[in-house]
Amino acid sequence: MDKLARTLRLGCIQLKVGANKSENVARAINKIRDAKMKGAEVVSLPECFNSPYGTAYFNDYAETIPGETTNLLSQIAKELQIILIGGTIPERDGDKLYNTATIWGKSGELLAKYRKMHLFDIDIPNEITFKESDSLSAGNDLAIINVKDFKIGIGICYDIRFEELAKIYRKKGCNVLVYPAAFNMKTGPLHYELLAQSRSNDNQLYTALISPARDVNASYVAWGHSCVVDPWAEVMYTSEADEDVFVVDLDLDKVDKVRANIPVFNQRRTDIYETIEKK
Ligand SMILES: NC(=O)CC(=O)C(=O)O
């Protein structure tokens, strides 16, 4: 067994994002360099890293893929010889807009593209109302990237609330889930880490959530607190609200151990679930 292939350094960038697109992208590139300096092999940016997060902004900031922002992501992945999970950007495809993550390989090639599958439509009166579906369309496809012996499944923010998606990734062999994810000041405090721990615990894998840094003057104030949770559901690292670049070591021995100790995936009563649900 190649032990080196079974460990991976994941770098996460909690990025300050403002109204100026080219400044956001330049800042992201600098932070990707920092993550590489810290030893990261795979680096992830947050949700909506080149644009403020909000339905009022998506159309103005949207780009095709490939386009201005993603060409720079491709270049930096190649220059630094890393795998880059390029957070998300508003993507324009024909007359539709998507909230889209692109993943770049060491030759600057596009490894995968993932469009947010579950749109963030919520209404908590007097607290927060947000309707992504006012301007965005939903994606329908998975994205899995293979790095060394790791299989990384990609979701975006609200997607983490849907355990079905995480379970499909686990069934397809994933041992890491990465969600660029901008929660807010209402849902973040209780749900952010809890959901990361839930998906890790359900599926016995690593879960990473990567947020923009908090900007109290923005129309949507992100919770921050990017985090990585291990397969035992233990929180390995949590950022505070401000900008942060951190690296965590992932180890497949840890995944195997938890899956062997508590083998829930072999103990499911799939023979009866459908029948009892219909009763
Ligand atoms: N912004 C999101 O997509 C999700 C979120 O903030 C939440 O689920 O809460």
Give the 3-state secondary structure of residue 170.
helix
127-182: pLDDT as tens digits: 999 999 999 999 999 999 999 999 999 999 999 999 999 999 999 999 999 999 99
Query: Residue written as tokens 């938890």?
Result: 258
pLDDT digits (tens, 9 = 90+) for 15-30: 999 999 999 999 999 9
- Give the other-Cβ count within 10 Å of 113's Cβ: 18
| Mean pLDDT to the nearest integer, 76-84 | 98
**The pLDDT value given to residue 155:** 99
Mutate which of 51, 130, 220 to test ligand 1's pocket (most atoms within 8 Å of Cβ)? 130
Rounded-to-10 torsion of CA 238, 239, 240, 245: 170
Asked whether 186 lines ligand 1 (CB < 6 A), one says: no
**Catalytic site residue from 12, 48, 157, 227:** 157
Which of the four pLDDT bands, split at 50, 70 and 90, describes residue 49? very high
Q: What average pLDDT does this structure show over 254-273?
A: 97
Distance 159 CA to ligand 1 centre (A): 8
Q: According to the model, what pLDDT value does residue 217 have? A: 97
- Per-residue HEC secondary structure of 72-108 comes to HHHHHHHHHCCEEECCCEEEEECCEEEEEEEEECCCC
Does ligand 1 come within 6 angstroms of the Cβ of 120? yes
Which phi and psi (to 5°) does residue 153 adopt?
A: -100, 140
Are 35 and 11 in contact by the 8 Å Cβ rule? The answer is yes
SS3 content of the chain, % helix, strand, coil (to 5): 35, 30, 40
The domain made up of 3-278 is a member of CATH 3.10.20.740? no
Calculate ∠ Cα 6-182-122, nearest 5°.
Answer: 125
Q: How does pLDDT run across 84-116, given as a tens digit for each residue? A: 999 999 999 999 999 999 999 999 999 999 999
Q: How far is the CA of 120 from the centre of ligand 1 (A)?
A: 6
Ligand 1 atom 3: the closest Cα is on which residue? 158
Confidence category of residue 242, pLDDT binned at 50, 70, 90: very high
How much is the pLDDT for 276?
Answer: 97
Closest-lying ligand 1 atom to the alpha carbon of residue 191: 9
pLDDT classification of 1: cutoffs 50, 70, 90: confident
Residue 182 in contact with ligand 1 by CB distance below 6 A:
yes
Using DSSP bridges, classify how beta strands 96-104 and 110-115 pair: parallel, antiparallel or unpaired.
antiparallel
What's the chain's average pLDDT?
98
**Ligand 1 centroid vs 118 CA: distance in angstroms?**
10
Average pLDDT over residues 232-259: 98
How far is Cα 206 from Cα 199, in angstroms, rounded to an integer? 9
Q: What is the pLDDT of residue 275?
A: 96
Strands 42-44 and 83-85 come out as: parallel
Category of 81 on φ-ψ map: left (φ > 0), alpha (ψ -120 to 50) or beta: left
Closest among 22, 34, 10 to 244, alpha carbons compared? 34
Element (DSSP H or E) covering residue 112: strand 110-115
Under 8 Å between Cβ of 95 and 188: no
- Segment 40-68 mean pLDDT: 98
The backbone torsions φ and ψ at residue 42, rounded to the nearest 5 degrees and listed phi first, read -120, 135
pLDDT score of 79? 98
Ligand 1 contact via 211 beta carbon (within 6 Å): no
Q: What is the pLDDT of residues 187-235, one digit of tens each?
A: 999 999 999 999 999 999 999 999 999 999 999 999 999 999 999 999 9
Q: Among this protein's residues, is 157 annotated catalytic?
A: yes
Query: 161 alpha carbon to ligand 1 midpoint, in Å?
Result: 8
Annotated domain spans of the chain = 3-278
